[in-house]
Amino acid sequence: MIEIAQSAGFCFGVNRAVETVEQAVGEKRKVVTLGPIIHNHHVVRRFRELGVEVIETPEEAKPGDTVIIRSHGVPRRVYEALQARGVEVIDATCPFVKRIHGIVEKADAEGRLPIIIGTRAHPEVEGIAGWCGHCRVFESPEELESFARSGEISPDAPICMVCQTTSTENLWKKCVEIAKKEFTALKMFDTICRATESRQTEAAELSRKADAMVVVGDVQSSNTGRLAMICRQYCDRVYLVDNASELRQEDFAGAAFVGITAGASTPAWIIKEVNKTMSEITNDVVQEENFEELLEQSIKTLNTGDKVTGIVTGIGNTEVQVDLGTKHAGYIPYDEVSSDPSVKPEDVLKVGDEIQVFVVRVNDQEGTVQLSKKKLDGMKVWDDMAAWVEDKTTVEGTITEVNKGGLVANIKGIRVFIPASQSGIAKGGDMSGLVGQTVKMHITEVNRARRRVIGSIRAVLAEERKAAQEKFWSEIEVGKKYHGTVKSLTSFGAFVDVGGVDGMVHVSELSWNRIKNPAEVVKVGDEIDVYVIAFDPVKKKISLGYKTAEMNPWNQFMTKYAIGDVVDAKIVKLMTFGAFAEILPGVDGLIHISQIADRRIGKPEDVLSEGQEVKVKITDIDAEAKRISLSIRALLDAPEEPSEEA
């Protein structure tokens, strides 16, 4: 049997960095990365084949380069050096690492000594250290304890302690114990990436039950090395491989259960190849299974309070059956599946699903064990919520009701109160329309003892608006077209929302015809296509155009009419020398007094009046001067067409 850890492969930060490079390459930029984008030579080689260069110092960046900062992050001085060279910089630093930069920078400004628990030579740690004037890095609890007792620093000196995101939970906890004992003015921030923690926990759990473990990843990768180290604590046969070609069949002789995990920098395609090769290997090995070892595994003991992993084997009328790989028959009562009473077990579970559950009660006499998915989910949600507050994570919840003070949402069975001021609805507005909707929010306060959770929709809307505005200003250019919505009208123009940012269309840019009020052309709520005439990123002002060359009445006339055409026109103005007639809105032609009638007349009003509809012939077009000569007389002088009978 082969089992792959659920969290194996790219973490959020690495995936974000890789996607950033792919996007920049797709935009045909000249892309370079400051150091390898991730610790995996297969990925680096693939990007090199796509034209992405790797530079080691800012000084190697050339004009026209787009320099991408890798997920590990870099010191502040590197940003400054790149800016001084005038190159475009895209920051793909993992958000969790970026948060540590902010913590140590603030601590340094407050006069606290930043202490970093991690590997000194690791790029992430070097980057963190570059955001404060002075700091200390310790790789082990012993180093930290030796420093604390050396007399180099006072026990009551202000300290701020953080750790490398890929550090192990065990190392951090030991350092916390020492720091609490040795320093009295201590601030601590557990900055281990939760994805890293999850990956390490899964690797430990998998290696506990595996006969052999395969850890896939680049040998230069710190987090891959730590995974292998963790697996070796629980499994004697651990193989760290770069790819499937390094797997040897003889290494897995007699292994009935093989676990596979992978570092955060390992691409999915390499993991798939390893899984396929291992499947081919274990097909030969299965015939040599040691049934005594399998029997020993089947009589593992379970205790109340354990968190265990099992496979759903059946969904009955009152309970869900779960195979825990032990002598006990596991079951989850329906009311222990979910904290949401409206959820049906078959909606969230399927036969064959692997799930984590909480052991509620063990009955050795009957050989059964009662399990709860709801309890374990609840414990995880409260832990998650505390982390969401600190990390300002955006989460989704369903609005269940409106009350006097605001809204109530459900997030994984937890009741979340959203004050009216944080609902995103204007004061006095109707919030009932949100009931039943899934909305995004930030968790701003968690009190586990009182089971009180406060959320904010408004905070997410503000972030999204800010992100949209930043994206807009980074991409705006003269001539760029946008589809926008008219937000308001003034006497001098219309304000149009073009994606979270308002621009103004001056009244002169609304129409080719003379208009007195913008309302003659557009109204609030209209969706219109506009283009950028000018913009000021400092003052955040944008001038937009609405009228286009295609809308120009003269261009329409030139496309539609030619000399000799007979058209319907309306007399719009009488002069002593003739009459002006409108052919199209905004396009007038002159009927000279000599061309009004087939006889001499004293003045145009003897024959014509304003508003009168007449047929005229186009006798001349001066395209350069935009002048048109018309004639009524030419139609009066024209000979009649002979009839067919004649």
- Give tens-digit pLDDT for 571-614: 999 999 999 999 988 788 999 999 999 888 889 998 899 999 99
Q: Measured between alpha carbons, how far is residue 146 from residues 50, 149, 153, 184 in Å?
A: 49, 5, 11, 17
What's the first-to-final CA gap in the chain, in angstroms? 102
Q: What is the DSSP string of 61-72?
A: --TTEEEEEPTT
Residue 640's pLDDT band (cuts 50, 70, 90): low
Of 204 and 269, the one with more pLDDT: 204
Residue 290, pLDDT score: 41
Length of the chain: 646
Task: Tell me the mean pLDDT in the region 215-225.
Answer: 85
Q: What is the DSSP string of 593-627?
A: GGGTSSS--S-GGGT--TT-EEEEEEEEEETTTTE
Helix (H, G, I), strand (E, B) or coil at 130: coil
Of 364 and 223, the one with more pLDDT: 223
Task: Tell me the mean pLDDT in the region 490-514.
Answer: 85
Of 507 and 9, the one with more pLDDT: 507
Which of 550, 553, 618, 551 shows the shortest CA–CA distance to 589? 618
- Active-site residue identified among 27, 124, 464, 550: 124
Residue 78, pLDDT score: 92
**The tokens of 637 are what?**
């002088």
> Does the pLDDT at position 37 exceed 80?
yes
Task: Tell me the mean pLDDT in the region 105-125.
Answer: 93
Of 141 and 9, the one with more pLDDT: 141
Task: Tell me the mean pLDDT in the region 123-131.
Answer: 93
Residue 145's pLDDT band (cuts 50, 70, 90): very high
Residue 643's pLDDT band (cuts 50, 70, 90): very low
Of 268 and 32, the one with more pLDDT: 32
Please tell me the distance from the alpha carbon of residue 72 to that of residue 123, in angstroms, as a whole number. Answer: 6
- Amino acid present at 559: T
Backbone angles phi, psi at 79, to 5 degrees: -60, -45
Q: Which strand ranges, in their side-by-side order, compose the sheet holding 159-163?
A: 136-138, 113-117, 159-163, 186-188
Helices (H) and strands (E) counted in the chain, each on its own, are: 16, 32
- Per-chain mean pLDDT for the chain: 85
Residue 326's pLDDT band (cuts 50, 70, 90): low
Task: Tell me the mean pLDDT in the region 12-33.
Answer: 83
Task: Tell me the mean pLDDT in the region 111-127.
Answer: 93
Q: What percent of the chain has pLDDT over 70?
A: 92
Task: Tell me the mean pLDDT in the region 565-572.
Answer: 92
Q: What percent of the chain has pLDDT over 90?
A: 34
- In the residue annotation, 124 being an active-site residue is answered as yes
**The tokens of 391 are what?**
């990390």
Cα angle 176, 177, 183 (rounded to 5 degrees) comes to 80
> Does the pLDDT at position 86 exceed 80?
yes
Q: Measured between alpha carbons, how far is residue 544 from residues 238, 379, 427, 509, 530 in Å?
A: 64, 53, 32, 8, 6
Of 222 and 407, the one with more pLDDT: 407
Residue 638's pLDDT band (cuts 50, 70, 90): low
Residue 195, pLDDT score: 66
